[in-house]
Amino acid sequence: MTRDRILEAAALEIERNGLTQFRVKRVALEANISIALLYSYFEDREDLIAATVVYRFRQVLVGLAEIFTTPLQGVETTDELRAALKVMISDAQLPFRTEARILRIESMSFAGHNEIASLGIADAKREASDLIMRHVQPLIEKNLLAPGMTGVAFARIWYALFFGQISLEGEHALSINCDDWLMALEVIATSMIRTDVQALVR
């Protein structure tokens, strides 16, 4: 619990002051512990920063995975799957989701220069991927996906849309009306689900 409290305090320090102005003294103060106790958990400042990046990245990734997994729980029919995908589309548009995606990208950028962070982020990705696939597998077993749509492909498409999507501000070639974007997502969602006609062919 003390370690998590330190990591939470360190995450707040990064959010407030960035990596260049990161101060261990402020982290210890925020966590309400001594600097000596803090260093009993982490080798040095860089070790603390790397562990904090992994800690926050895992929180973000698992949190985003919940967009994917929660609506899929208990889905039994194609109609229920359509309804679940609508919930996922709606939830993915919440502003704090974009903030989480940006933090995820920043964490990955840092990990590119730090081996400890890189290994920790790889573990977090595996954890989130396994969580997602555990919830997609029943869709395959219940034959709810369109012909040719594998479980991995289904998961990858939504992963790309929701985990990689960043708000594109301003006027440019990729500007899109919010309603048009949501409509496009619904078209994609519909095409991924088996229709009654496809069920009869099978």
CATH of the domain spanning 57-201, picked from 1.10.10, 1.20.950, 1.10.357, 1.25.40 = 1.10.357
Assess if CATH 1.10.10.60 describes domain 1-42.
yes
Handedness of CA 149, 150, 153, 154 (dihedral sign): positive
pLDDT at 200 over 70: no
Please give the pLDDT value at position 77: 95
* Structure tokens given for 34: 């001594």
Judged by DSSP in three states, 145 sits in strand
Handedness of CA 16, 20, 21, 22 (dihedral sign): positive
**Weakest mean pLDDT among 62-71, 78-87, 162-171:** 162-171
Please give the pLDDT value at position 197: 57
Indicate the domain borders of the chain: 1-42, 57-201
pTM of the model: 0.77
Judge if 1-42 and 57-201 fold alike in CATH terms.
no
Please give the pLDDT value at position 78: 96
Helix, strand and coil percent figures for the chain, each rounded to 5: 75, 0, 25
Please give the pLDDT value at position 168: 55
Please give the pLDDT value at position 62: 84
Please give the pLDDT value at position 185: 85
Query: Within a 13 Å sphere around the CA of 9, how many CA atoms are in the beta-carbon half?
Result: 21
**Weakest mean pLDDT among 57-71, 94-108, 159-173:** 159-173
